[in-house]
Structure 1
Amino acid sequence: MSQHGDSICFRQFLLDVSSAWFVATCKTDSWSLFVVFVLADSSGLDQNHGGEYAAYESLIERFITALRTCEVDPYMVLDGGSDHTNKKLETVTKRAEQRIERAHRAAKDGGKEDIRPIMTKWVFRQTLTRLKVPVAQCFGEADREIAALADKWQCPVLSNDSDFYIFNLSAGLLPISYFQWQDVKGNGSKSYIPCKRYYTSSFCIYFEIQPQLLPTFAALAGNDYVKLPKFIWSRFAPDASRPQSRLEGLLCWMKDFEQPEDTLKAAVELMGGKSQNKEKMLQSLSVGMEEYKLPRSSLVEFFVRGVVPPFLDEVMILIQGKMSFIEVCRSTVETKYLPSANLTSRPLRQVMYGLLLGKETSYKVEERDREDLQLKFIRIKPTFTNFNLSERLEVLLEALGVKEELLNELPPQLRLLVAVTCYWWNRARPRPDLKLLKSLLLGMNLKDTSRLIVQACCHQKPDVGVAHSFSQWQVCMKDSMHLNQLLGLPLPEPDVARFYQGTLVHQLVHMRRTGSRLKRVLKPDQASVQQYRDMLSAIRRLRPRPRQGSEFSESEQAERRALNDHTNLRLFQLDYDEETEARSLARAQEDLRLDDRLLLRTRYKTKERRNRCNKVELSRKEEGRGMDLL
């Protein structure tokens, strides 16, 4: 498509990042700018190890800083679910199948397959909330809402989404390829981001077609809503060998038409087919064209005056329990030879379905998930729960299988994190060994991780089993956070960017399995070590008691009896390994003696502080205390 380019200084715009939309208000200029931009796909961060969320958070912060340097105040509008009419069902299904194939290739070969980490949107939303960016959530897809808002505020749009080449936006479109947000020019009030701008009017002039035919062009070219029989439009192009000859040929053919209705009828006749098929084709094309008609924006009043839009059809349909299926198939790096990572957290989603439906109904709930490499529709029975507002926490903890009194010993910000990790450790299959659990918790608590991440090879092929296990944990975390939100946040929401760094955690697992001494590569931090120990202790105590015929071995059951003695608990659990079950009780006694020595040290804190000043070597040794327990 032809693009009209100009370097511009802007102050107001709308923006899409990871399927989320920003809106920015104008402070000084008389014109505005609308931006749609995808950060997650262009960040270049590692994906195969489950996500580099801290680095992604930093990327978002830099982007917002660039905007605010140009005196831009952004607002965010998130995409919602798929259209309840399932007009895009075929397209959505095809994309899900492609994601499954890419995820399998990434796990098998270790190559980059553009697998967006599971918690990307959570990091995005939490980061923007922390940066005080106002947020709105659309019930369905946000394209038309954004276009309507851009048209109302006279904002151009920044995007690579081809739909925005069709919407009649008076202020135009800014293609992402030319939006140089990392290269802010000027200083102070004269700061600006170099970019280029596209206008539909320029496009129509270049190809000599009527502006009102652009939606017709989009429908005939084929989009998510319109599926037509293959037709060789390139026969009308000046040069049929060019890559875009099909679209160029269609545009050349449309030059002789002025009205959409006449164009559609002529195109259907040209493509042939039976009379009945022609009527269906005309209907399908008309529906596709409707997607480019701008509705009245429901977001203007929300952002300007805080007026919440009324319930829309999608919400009422959800409340009435008429949704036909739920999209569950997430992008996780996992091979076809292992079960879907989504299975572990299915009981949590069943509770959510029950809460959303409100009571037992005859409406069915289906999840779309994979079996091997095949996409399947799976019938799910909701779990119905009768509760009042004062019992929200009980519902959440019952779903996770943990007791409130044990969680209360932890700081509030760790409770959901620990409860979900306990749920994962008990339910994930294959069952994670203790090395995975310890590596996961240690990764959550380390402060200075940059050096260790640099030592790890970000492009190294991940261990398939480890990647699958941590994918299960992330899905459990995501579904638990959704359930927590649905219940009105009875537990504080964890900071996603802080609790999982994929490359780091995979490296910690590798170090444990190869016998590396962690204290040689990690900077000792006693506060972090203590929090790590508290979390591990809580998870071991929250582990359910074995029942008759349970999977626990005799040595594990003996260990659990020892754990009932809180005097032995503290250090016994810290060095327990599944591979050394037979020696667990003896190890507990050894750790208990070590614990006694650690407790004695606190009595001589003042003396040690003086010695630390006088003896550098002693100080270094004390910094490493506790690291052996990791």
Structure 2
Amino acid sequence: MGVQGLASLLERHRRIYLDVEFRMNRLVVDGNNLLHLLYFNSGLDQNHGGEYAAFEDLTERFVTALRSCGVAPYVVLDGGTDTSDKKLETVTKRALERIEKVHRAAKTGESKNIMPALAKQVFQQTLVRLEVPVAQCFAEADREVAALATEWKCPVLSNDSDFYVFDLPAGLLPISHFHWQDVKQKGSQRYIPCKRYYASCFCIYFNIEQQLLPAFAALSGNDYVQVRGIRWTEFAPAGSETPSRLEGLLRWLRDFQQPQEALKASLGLMGEPSKNSEAEVMQKLDLGMEEYRLPASSLKRFFVDGGGASVASGGRGKKHVLSHSGQSKSYPKALAVVPDWTRLPLTQARLTPHVLDVLLLQRIKLSIAVEHTDQPSTNRTSRPLRQVMYGLLLGGRRWLRVEERDRAGLDLTFIPVAPTFTGAVQRLGLGTLHQANPAERLQVLLEALGVTEAALSRLPPQLRLPVAVTCYWLQRAQPPPDLTALKALLVVMMGGVSPRHKAALQHQCCLQKLDVLVSQVFNQWQVCLKDSIHLNQLLDFPLPDPEVARLYQGTLVHQLVHRMRTGGRLKNFLKSDWASRGQYNIALSVVHQFLTRRAPTSSEPRGRRPPADLTAELHLALLYEDEETEDRSAVRMQEEVLLDNQLSVKTRYRTKDRVNRCNKPQLSRKQECRGWGIL
């Protein structure tokens, strides 16, 4: 966020930067800034829900480039919302701007820099796999990043303009000038060509005292304070073709030695405010300056002790407690409601920062997907999952409600949501949740998703949570997914698309207008998966954390739906090996059993009924999948019999008919003409 216009000012005065050959050093990385710039600058599709496999590959190539030059990255991520609400006005304004961007992206197909729902999970999981040290702050990461870099005397990597204000001993490496894709070699050493910024160089160039930089940031108007009524362009250098607000402010600051002098003098430029308003303005300016005063690093010990290299990838890790001398020292009173056992997982990014927002503020900001604003927000679909999480977090305070900030049309809405305290949730307390019996924690998750452990047991561990989420999605999504959407999703999830078809399908999708209804359906699946992952984290991974990059590729799944709806056959795009199809068929059978068991009743709310037509179509699809093939291998026949045995008793009575039709392709074609063949 930072100081608006400062990065553009520096682009006009590039002599401030130093050209460097960066190698053999530590590097503290502003994780959220890197995440956004890596994705948005890569040209990856944003409007179909994310290209996660490609983003995983991009993140890995970035880390590989650093390590090839002897650079050791330490990634620091933002955490919960600032409890002081001093940025609430700015955050609300930007949320409204985001809603407008989402609407335009859905209507026009333009890229508006909307981060796909699961990109952060992919980013974090890739860093974990590559054993990159990662830490998640309890609030915004800027001060922690600057404090750590100051103590280690190494540079910061970020494009956030706040880092132009901090006095960093080893300076800032702006990401926009960090050419990691163009690694050079000099002798036996490799290096990354980049530019380095020092605050001292900035002050020498503009002829101001360095201690005035925080006052410059506050008076220019940042996320914490908005200064109104001063036209800084009046002080811009004479002869400027386009007078700059920031250059005018910098020229004005030359007459001052200390920040407080400048702040008091600025009051005289605001007209004639009352004494009360003067005090209020000074308080806001002081608050804006306070953000650039660095505390001692609370993450140095964490990284040195090795916690940063062990961000859990799913499963029960070490249970030692992050002491109150760690991150918590910045927020001692507020964090009294945060259990000790959660502090290490929060710092390791094993828990979503939503945990802090719910415990400290009883308020969370929900992400907004690329969707037509005439449609309801996709976040409604997964609200029952979040309610279970709220129940676990607020179990001792049952009267509380959690305010969810979400989209309603083109507006922001704030919805009070009641926690869920039913079922297995009632038996678990937050203080001892990490010590609860694994079977109880699993029961909470399965009850929330509405599936059984027995049904999931036939799936590989990594696919159990995604398939369970798919069952939940089929029950809750509005509009309900049809069989085409379900099959396209499962095929991509199982990695069943032939490599030779994948690139062509993705390219063709980018040339077509976004189908907003298809997008709505898959956006709902993604948000269900994300909230299920968060609930699974809080319950300490009763199911393995899924590898998100393997589960969804937006342009591919959208194009498969389009092809099938325009007469294409799914089988034409699949891999030739029957092993991957066997896994796909097992997933279909699990979903089929769920829909059969969850047959709609007249007393059920509409949003909770599985679509009856989908249940029937899926039953037929399982019976007649790929029946046109005349020449079947013995292996394929054995797999079909095995799959039939996994279906209902009624289905097993149809096995004889299936075999007969395989041996009599003419009969199969006649039945297809009568409408029996599905896809």
**Which TM-score bucket, shorter chain as reference?**
0.7 to 0.9
* 1:401 maps to 2:401: no
2:359 and 2:393 in contact (8 A); partners too? no
In the alignment, what sits opposite 2:275?
275
* 1:546 maps to 2:566: no
1:88 and 1:224 in contact (8 A); partners too? yes
Correspondence 1:14-53 to 2 at 5 A: 14-16=27-29, 19=32, 38-53=37-52
Structure 1 position 135, deviation (Å): 2.1
**CA offset digits 1:391-413 (Å, max 9, x no partner):** 00000000111112211222211
1:444 and 1:498 in contact (8 A); partners too? yes
In the alignment, what sits opposite 1:338?
375
Partner letter of residue 283 of structure 2? Q
**Please, which of 504, 525, 535 is the counterpart of residue 556 of structure 2?**
504
Distance 1:358 1:177 in 2: 46
Structure 1 position 432, deviation (Å): 1.1
Partner letter of residue 19 of structure 1? N
**CA offset digits 1:246-282 (Å, max 9, x no partner):** 0000011110100111110000121122221111000
SS in 1 for 2:180: coil
Gaps of 5+ in 2: 1-9, 308-321, 340-355, 429-435, 628-647, 665-676
Q: Give the stretch that moved more between structures: 491-500 or 71-80.
A: 71-80
**CA offset digits 1:199-246 (Å, max 9, x no partner):** 111111111110000000000001110122142101011147555610
Structure 1 position 466, deviation (Å): 0.4
In the alignment, what sits opposite 2:94?
95
1:572 and 1:592 in contact (8 A); partners too? no
CA change 1:511–1:570 in 2 (3 A) is: closer
Distance 2:611 2:263 in 1: 75
**Please, which of 544, 550, 559 is the counterpart of residue 492 of structure 1?**
544
Distance 1:374 1:240 in 2: 44
Distance 2:283 2:64 in 1: 47
Correspondence 1:427-466 to 2 at 5 A: 427-445=476-494, 446-449=496-499, 451-455=501-505, 456-466=508-518
Distance 2:400 2:306 in 1: 35
Structure 1 position 7, deviation (Å): 2.4
In the alignment, what sits opposite 1:514?
566
1:213 and 1:260 in contact (8 A); partners too? yes
* 1:373 maps to 2:410: yes
Q: Give the stretch that moved more between structures: 405-414 or 533-542.
A: 405-414
Q: Give the stretch that moved more between structures: 164-173 or 325-334.
A: 325-334
2:476 and 2:610 in contact (8 A); partners too? no
The aligned length equals 575
Structure 1 position 119, deviation (Å): 0.3
1:396 and 1:484 in contact (8 A); partners too? yes
2:338 and 2:359 in contact (8 A); partners too? yes
1:54 and 1:498 in contact (8 A); partners too? yes
Q: Give the stretch that moved more between structures: 312-321 or 471-480.
A: 312-321
1:536 and 1:573 in contact (8 A); partners too? no
Distance 2:220 2:166 in 1: 15
In the alignment, what sits opposite 2:659?
596
CA change 1:511–1:71 in 2 (3 A) is: same
Structure 1 position 450, deviation (Å): 5.8
Structure 1 position 324, deviation (Å): 3.3
CA change 1:236–1:424 in 2 (3 A) is: same
CA change 1:547–1:598 in 2 (3 A) is: same
CA change 1:549–1:395 in 2 (3 A) is: closer
Distance 1:283 1:237 in 2: 27
1:413 and 1:492 in contact (8 A); partners too? yes
1:207 and 1:252 in contact (8 A); partners too? yes
SS in 1 for 2:195: coil
In the alignment, what sits opposite 2:336?
316
SS in 2 for 1:339: coil
Distance 2:85 2:121 in 1: 26
1:17 and 1:40 in contact (8 A); partners too? no
Distance 1:344 1:204 in 2: 52
In the alignment, what sits opposite 1:470?
522
Question: What is the root-mean-square deviation in Å for CA atoms of aligned residues?
Answer: 3.0
In the alignment, what sits opposite 2:584?
532
In the alignment, what sits opposite 2:426?
386
* 1:411 maps to 2:460: yes
Identity, % of aligned positions: 53
Distance 2:499 2:364 in 1: 35
Structure 1 position 316, deviation (Å): 3.1
Distance 1:569 1:519 in 2: 12
Distance 1:549 1:149 in 2: 58
Q: Give the stretch that moved more between structures: 160-169 or 180-189.
A: 180-189
**CA offset digits 1:75-115 (Å, max 9, x no partner):** 32221121111111111111111111111111111111111
SS in 2 for 1:333: coil
Partner letter of residue 418 of structure 1? V
Partner letter of residue 596 of structure 1? V
In the alignment, what sits opposite 1:289?
289
2:509 and 2:556 in contact (8 A); partners too? no
Structure 1 position 503, deviation (Å): 0.3
Partner letter of residue 373 of structure 1? L
SS in 2 for 1:38: helix
CA change 1:240–1:288 in 2 (3 A) is: farther
Distance 1:174 1:521 in 2: 45
In the alignment, what sits opposite 2:111?
112
1:156 and 1:171 in contact (8 A); partners too? yes
SS in 2 for 1:327: strand
CA change 1:233–1:66 in 2 (3 A) is: same
Structure 1 position 421, deviation (Å): 0.5
CA change 1:449–1:330 in 2 (3 A) is: farther
Distance 2:187 2:578 in 1: 43
Distance 1:574 1:408 in 2: 26
2:28 and 2:149 in contact (8 A); partners too? no
Distance 2:560 2:615 in 1: 29
SS in 2 for 1:370: strand
In the alignment, what sits opposite 1:12?
25
CA change 1:421–1:442 in 2 (3 A) is: same
Gaps of 5+ in 1: 22-35, 576-584, 602-627
Partner letter of residue 302 of structure 1? F
1:354 and 1:383 in contact (8 A); partners too? yes
Partner letter of residue 443 of structure 1? V
**Please, which of 522, 528, 532 is the counterpart of residue 480 of structure 1?**
532
Structure 1 position 570, deviation (Å): 5.3
2:371 and 2:519 in contact (8 A); partners too? yes
SS in 2 for 1:323: helix
Structure 1 position 170, deviation (Å): 1.3
Structure 1 position 133, deviation (Å): 1.4
